[in-house]
Amino acid sequence: MKTITLIIVCLIIYSFQSQAQTQELLDNTWYLEKVVIDEVEYLTPSNDEINQVILDFDTDFINTYPAPSECFAFLGSIDFNNNNSSFSNSDASPSFPECNQEENSNFYVYYIDEFYWLESGNETQIFEYNITEESSALKKLTITNTNNDQAVYYSETLSIQDVDGFGTVILYPNPSQNEFSIESDVDIKQIKMYNQLGQVVLEFDDIKPQPSYNISVLSKGIYFVELSSVQGKKIVKKLIKN
């Protein structure tokens, strides 16, 4: 009897955890780092046409597309299975790629055709997903298809406590190349920049008003800028380096 009770309790806990992951999936905008096909990694392009690929969910649809140029897109109907952190994708509608750069057209094949579309037409596909917390600033989403291929995403996470009372903060230009500036109505004490793995790659301490911050040592990609105020508040902003 105790064994049966323990199993039931474990199933209830697992169900709650799965439902929480589903809510996290819906609450965040996800940024693709890479897609892994047949154990080969293909990183998200970083060029004038595409410097990020965005993934959005709502309760009925999945939508993924690149930016700043939406030269391809994928939209599909989904149903969530909260018992095992998975969703089924049907009635998928990939757009024909209209990318000007060959690198981006090739990436479309790996990401859309081979990972999401699976050359299956309108057959329903099952995808498993898992969300882990990489740091206070980042969450990682891993989606696995029926071929055991994976797409890996990261999300900027902002708690209500971090945002409330911080004030207005604007990073510009965004995307940036070698430097960026901050427009804010609060005093900034410290700046930390994280890469998509949650690692600190640049840090500015004892901040004094200055026109710009040099990021020329960083590679192209998506970064998360954590700003700390003299009052102890924190906020995280996404910055793209071209």
Q: Which domains does the chain have, with CATH numbers?
A: 1-154 (2.40.128.270), 169-241 (2.60.40.1930)
Amino acid at 137: A
**Cβ pair 54, 71 in contact under 8 A:** no
Amino acid at 93: S
pTM beyond 0.85: no
213: which 2 tokens? 């911050």
What span, in angstroms and rounded, lies between the C-alpha atoms of 226 and 182?
Answer: 12
Model pLDDT for residues 135-184, shown as the tens digit of each residue: 655 678 999 998 999 999 987 533 333 344 566 777 888 778 899 888 87
120: which 2 tokens? 């299956």
What span, in angstroms and rounded, lies between the C-alpha atoms of 216 and 92?
Answer: 41
pLDDT at res. 16: 41
Q: For Cα atoms 15, 12, 125, give the angle at the middle one, nearest 5 degrees.
A: 25
pLDDT at res. 129: 92
Q: Cite the beta strand spans of 100-149 per DSSP E.
A: 125-133, 138-144
Which comes out higher in pLDDT, residue 115 or 240? 115
Exposure on the CB side of residue 124, measured as CA atoms within 13 A: 8
What span, in angstroms and rounded, lies between the C-alpha atoms of 170 and 165?
Answer: 15
Q: Which residue carries 């994976």 as its tokens?
A: 150
Return the bridge partners of 169, or none. Answer: 184
Amino acid at 228: S
Least confident of 3-12, 25-34, 79-88, 151-160: 3-12
In sequence order, the 6+-apart residues with CB closer than 8 A to the CB of 38 are 149
